Amino acid sequence: MKLAILFGGASYEHEISIVSAITVKGKLSHFDLSFIFCDQDHRFYLVEAAKMKATTFSRSQHLKMPQLTLVKGGFEQRGLFGAKMHTMPVLNLIHGGDGEDGSIAALFDFYGVSFIGPRKEASMLSFDKHYTKWFAASMGVQTLPYEVITRETIKTITTPYPFIIKPSCLGSSIGVSIVREASELAYALDVAFEYDNVLLIEPFISGVKEYNLAGYGSRGEITYSIVEEPQKAEFLDFEKKYLDFSRSAKVEEAAVSDTLVAQLRDTFKTLYLPLFEGALIRCDFFEIDGQVYLNEINPIPGSMANYLFEDFQGAISTLLGSLPQKKEISIQYDYIHSISQAKGK
């Protein structure tokens, strides 16, 4: 089964995407894989499987590889004696901007490329944490209380200490800080504003239970991963999450009650079914006083959360067999012809 893995992108998570693609390569050995690298200038390159190493990109060796152009139906490799089409389905593995903000999804829709990943509407609502809060609330899913600030509204922070500051449109805990007292605020704001102009502030709850659950839908049925309780210190920082992107060994299932598993699955299903058809996503949850709260939605989880599934290759195969199809519109110009006939032209 043919499949192209698209990775890289113009994003703060560019390097993480490379690590993620290398990991997924090792988990999909039964597939006939191609690798398409998107550089920071939005140029696409066809990368040899043997060259799928981090140093290939850090040393710019990809520049010597065939360049591709996105066209109707797939990617075109142009040469002196003609062009070759690459028309296999694509697994969108670009983390952060480009991959998760809806840009790639919109391009693939526009050019009629079949792909695994969130569609553009799902991308926009899950990429921006502020919009995710709105979406969750509209679906009756609880989230922690929050406030949104910009550089112009810093002085209006009302959340009591300690609290967490996070960029609204960034993952992997990049730019995230715990602020325990006023003396730590200025530095935390400077760090977060390096990455985004809009920040979220949430209360920091020490020792809160956190659980991860991944899943994907096929013809209206959702297949769930095991529930993981991530090992963390105070919160999952960048270094811990960075390691997640290279994980390939199956993790231990969390020792939780059947009741909590059912709550997590029900909440996941509530979020997944309206928008995320065609994608494998991971939701990160808090459990507080027996209640489930959404922390965030990962529309393209690190290494596709392969470590949470018994049969990751089977999951990808199932997704490929049930991708949503965009309705083709037939243009007939009947209206223009009727007007022309009525005018005698």
Identify the sign of the CA torsion 60, 63, 65, 67.
Answer: positive
Structure tokens at 321: 């067999």
Rounded to 5°, the CA angle 78-80-82 comes to 55
pLDDT in single tens digits along all 345 residues of the chain: 999 999 999 998 999 999 999 999 999 999 999 999 999 999 999 999 999 999 999 999 999 999 999 999 999 999 888 899 999 999 999 998 899 999 999 999 999 999 999 999 999 999 999 999 999 999 999 999 999 999 888 777 899 999 999 999 876 678 899 999 999 999 999 999 998 999 999 999 988 999 999 999 988 899 999 999 987 655 555 455 445 556 667 889 999 999 999 999 999 999 999 899 999 999 999 999 999 999 999 999 999 999 999 999 999 999 999 999 888 888 889 889 888 887 765
d(CA 319, CA 294): 24
Upper half-sphere CA count for residue 177 (Cβ side, 13 Å): 18
Within a 10 A sphere around the Cβ of 231, how many other Cβ atoms?
9
**First-to-last C-alpha distance (Å) of the chain:** 53
List, in order of start, the domains of the chain with CATH numbers. 2-117 (3.40.50.20), 124-141+208-320 (3.30.470.20), 147-203 (3.30.1490.20)
d(CA 314, CA 294): 27
How deeply is 16 buried, as exposed, middle or buried, from its count of CB atoms within 10 A (0-12, 13-18, 19+)?
buried
